[in-house]
Amino acid sequence: MLEIVGSRKRLEILKHLSRGDKYVSEIMDLTKMDGKRVKHHLQRLEKEGIVESYKKGRRRYYRMVKDLKLEIRAPPEGKFIVYVTEK
């Protein structure tokens, strides 16, 4: 899971999807990435079950299906905790 949320670009995509469903072109514009990179990141997120896609007309939309919470604790614990919950 840390590998998935460890990517700055994937976190940026998740930030935009947390505000509502988006289609690939919208995500491209918001993240300033090309379509190939956006689709790659979306496929990884979909494979992990964090997002899902659906078609509406000719467009494929993506939406978050799980809530993510990243908690970072300061020393002495010094550990990362990632919570994944169903929406």
Rounded to whole angstroms, the Cα distance separating 69 from 82 reads 6
Helix-helix angle 8-17:24-31, to 10 degrees: 120
**Residue given tokens 């809530």 in the structure block:** 67
Rounded distance between C-alpha atoms, residue 52 and residue 66, angstroms: 10
Task: Answer with the residue of higher pLDDT: 73 or 8.
Answer: 8
Residue 45 to residue 10: CA distance in whole angstroms: 8
Say how far apart CA 50 and CA 77 lie, in whole Å.
28
Residue 6, domain extent: 2-86
Tell me the pLDDT tens digit for each residue of 36-62.
999 999 999 999 889 999 999 999 999
Counted domains in the chain: 1
pLDDT at 31: 95
What CATH number has the domain bearing residue 12? 1.10.10.10
Residue 54 one-letter amino acid: Y
